[in-house]
Amino acid sequence: MNSNLLQVFQKKIYSFFKLKKINHALISNSALDTLTILKKNNFHAFIVGGAVRDILMGYKPKDFDIATNATPEQVRSIFKRSRIIGRRFKLVHVIYGREIIEVSTFRAKPREKIKMSNGVLKDNEYGSIKEDAERRDFTINALYYDVEDKNIIDFYDGIRDIQDNQLRLIGKPKLRYKEDPIRILRAIRFAAKLKMEIHSESVSEIKNSINLLKSVPYSRLFDEIMKFFLTGHAQESMVLFKKHNLSNIYFPSLENNNKDFNNFLLQGLKNTDLRIKNHQSINPGFLLAVFLWKDVRELSKKYKKNFPHPSLALNKAIDDVLQKQARIFPVQKRFAITMSEIWRLQPRFNSTSSKKIYRLLSHPRFRASYDFLLLRCQSLEISKSEGLWWTQFIESNKENQDLLIITKKNLNNE
């Protein structure tokens, strides 16, 4: 055998066996405790899904899900600090301080379709571990780990798909997308998050099935779309979001070849990923303000000639942009309010009035608006000196702040 081919073969064999090992140091003590207690009460219990997948891929899981043959009511009776959640499918949250271990009962395909008031089908039919695996979306998420036996139960070659860097739906993609169209979004999002290729059959059916998303309740659809950009892989997600025509469907403002705006957008996505990495809070309204800022700016410039004051033109532009977006894919009201305030405060950063500057500093939305200003500076939409002045102002004491305001007035009068 050719030596190069032999090395490749040996590497694949090594990789395959290495993948089968689970590093117990990456499993939370709370998850281990939950498993132990369930087993002591004569129930089967396994770590399932994303946590197993992430450990096999060398990542530290953010949370742990456990699958068991115990019903939600039985789990609730065992754990004092727990609560049953969900209507469509009941789950139990077992609470360990700030950590929550999510415990689900093995589920089977419902024998009858029962719709709830919001139009979503109930999904509380319980079954075997094999039936549970069959209900899961991707092969890489249908992995069950038995901590005691140190054995991975893999019904659909999920380990091999991890090895091949492939995201593959369980079952026929056309049928699985029809069962739950959200799987279309999940496939694209997981591909971005895990840097995996979507299996050819799964990806080819996306285009044919994408109209099914119209039947998904708005609140669920909105939350799933925001996960693309608020879970630490916004940059990669935007590439696939555009590639699969989702931007054109939900946020047409993102579909343009304007270099300046694309730099602004990229910087916004980078900053969002960085904040998540640093465990800082994220407001979806901020990123949505980034998405639609180009439209607001352009309309505001257009309206200036029709209004006696620039702020009136800006207000008109904001109202029109939000109304236009509402006809396509509406932004939830609480986020729309955040966006409006961030946009409306931008011109106020130019003020040289001491009274107006201090009033801006005390505004509840000042910090988000200041971060938005810095983003505009980073992308060179406006001079970096604007952001530097405000950064220095924030970090100074009252005496130095007053001096900075005087300096700003003098520079403005030159």
65-68 vs 45-48, strand pairing mode: antiparallel
Residue tagged active-site, from 65, 132, 154, 161: 65
Cα distances from 71 to residues 44, 203, 396, in angstroms, run 11, 36, 59
CA 269 to chain CA mean position, Å: 12
Coil, strand or helix: which one is 214? Answer: helix
Catalytic, 63? Answer yes
Q: Are 182 and 220 within 8 A, CB to CB? A: yes
Residues making up the chain, counted from first to last: 414
Q: Is 295 noted as a catalytic residue in this protein?
A: no
Structural Rg of the chain based on CA atoms: 26
Find out whether 185 and 210 touch, Cβ atoms under 8 Å: no
The contacts of residue 205 (CB under 8 Å, 6+ apart) are 173, 174, 177
Measured between its terminal Cα atoms, the distance across the chain in Å is 79
Which of these, 142, 147, 118, lies nearest to 132 by C-alpha position? 142
Q: Is 65 a catalytic residue?
A: yes
Question: CA 313, CA 350: separation in Å to the nearest integer?
Answer: 17
Q: Which of 54, 123, 132, 137 is catalytic?
A: 137
In Å, how far from its chain's centre is CA 35? 28
Q: Which residues carry out catalysis?
A: 63, 65, 137
